[in-house]
Amino acid sequence: MKRKFTIVAMAAIALFISSCMTIQPGEVGVKVRLGVMEEKVYKPGRVRVPVNTRLIRVPTRTVNKEIKLNLPSKEGLNVSAEISILYHIEAEMVPDIIREIGTNYEEVVILSVFRSAAADICAQFYAKDMHSGKRGEIEKQILDRMTNIIGDRGFTIETVLLKSISLPPGLYTAIEDKLEAEQEAQRMEFVLQKERLEADRKKIEALGTAEAQKILTEGLNELTIKWRSLEVLKELSASPNAKLIITDGKTPMIIGNDEGN
């Protein structure tokens, strides 16, 4: 009898242990019993699951989904791209996601919405834009479009990254040629701007010289010349040096040595 009791007890313990499941960190779980899903969301840890109940575990950590696809460009080219989508699921929305979409939500919602958004956005840009400084703008517009469509359904799109872009053959050379032409045009504009500044400087300098000469000419009238001549004669008369001054009373002519004569 005691042995029988022990066997039953061990079987009960084994059944209890086998009915427990573990929810790992970074995920949550919901129970479905006889086709009816509970609203309670179970957090990481051990959860008892009865025989007629199953536990659906859904990751809430950040998921990195990489996709390869061909994107249309504004000029009608097909651009091969490898893109990463980083997203996570809001834990409290898991029951609604499973009920309305199912456990294959990634393919049904995330990827389908992404493909549509990426095609619509990239069709507004030239192929070279996907390989240049406008890449960030394209990523942001795809992110915003996806958020507007599925953001309120429990999916948070964290970022969209254009990891690699393969342009059609020959387009790389065309882009490089254009960039070199733009750089040369910028260099020439710099040279022309420098020349214009130098010409402006010379013009201002010439105008200043002309203005100074005009002022000097206007100031040299007959009275001023006579007055300056009188000043010179006055200074000469006070000088200890011997001088011979020939004058008609208007303009003096000085003959003599500078020192001691």
* Segment 39-86, tens digit of pLDDT: 999 999 888 888 788 899 999 999 999 999 988 888 888 888 899 999
Q: Extract the tokens encoding 183.
A: 């750089």
Largest CA distance in the chain: 161
Q: Extract the tokens encoding 232.
A: 């010179």
The total of other beta-carbon atoms located within 10 Å of residue 154's CB is 21
Phi, psi (deg, nearest 5) at residue 33: -120, 120
- Distance CA(41)–CA(92), nearest Å, equals 7
Q: At which residue do the structure tokens 């990426």 appear?
A: 118
Q: At which residue do the structure tokens 């970022």 appear?
A: 159
Closest by CA to 81, choosing from 169, 166, 168, is 166
**Cβ-contact 134, 124 below 8 angstroms:** no
- Which parts of the chain sit beneath pLDDT 70? 1-19, 168-180, 215-261
Q: Looking at residue 75, what is its pLDDT?
A: 82
Q: Looking at residue 238, what is its pLDDT?
A: 66
- Distance CA(259)–CA(241), nearest Å, equals 6
Q: Looking at residue 108, what is its pLDDT?
A: 93
Q: Looking at residue 132, what is its pLDDT?
A: 74
User: Cβ neighbours of residue 230 under 8 Å, at least 6 residues apart?
Assistant: none
Q: Looking at residue 227, what is its pLDDT?
A: 62
pLDDT in tens, 23-40: 899 999 999 988 888 899
- Give the architecture-level CATH label for domain 63-173: 2-Layer Sandwich (3.30)
Q: Looking at residue 235, what is its pLDDT?
A: 67
- Segments making up each domain of the chain, as ranges: 2-59, 63-173, 222-255
**Cβ-contact 204, 212 below 8 angstroms:** no
**What pTM was estimated for this model as a whole?**
0.58
Task: Encode 105-142: b = buried (16+ Cβ within 10 Å), e = exposed.
Answer: bbeebbeebbeebbeebbeebbbbbbbeeeeeebbebb
The total of other beta-carbon atoms located within 10 Å of residue 88's CB is 16
Q: Looking at residue 16, what is its pLDDT?
A: 45
**Cβ-contact 116, 110 below 8 angstroms:** no
**Cβ-contact 146, 138 below 8 angstroms:** no
Q: Looking at residue 142, what is its pLDDT?
A: 95
Q: Looking at residue 260, what is its pLDDT?
A: 45
Q: Looking at residue 203, what is its pLDDT?
A: 84
Q: Looking at residue 1, what is its pLDDT?
A: 56
The sign of the dihedral angle between the CA atoms of 34, 37, 38, 43 is positive
- H and E: helices and strands count for the chain: 7, 10
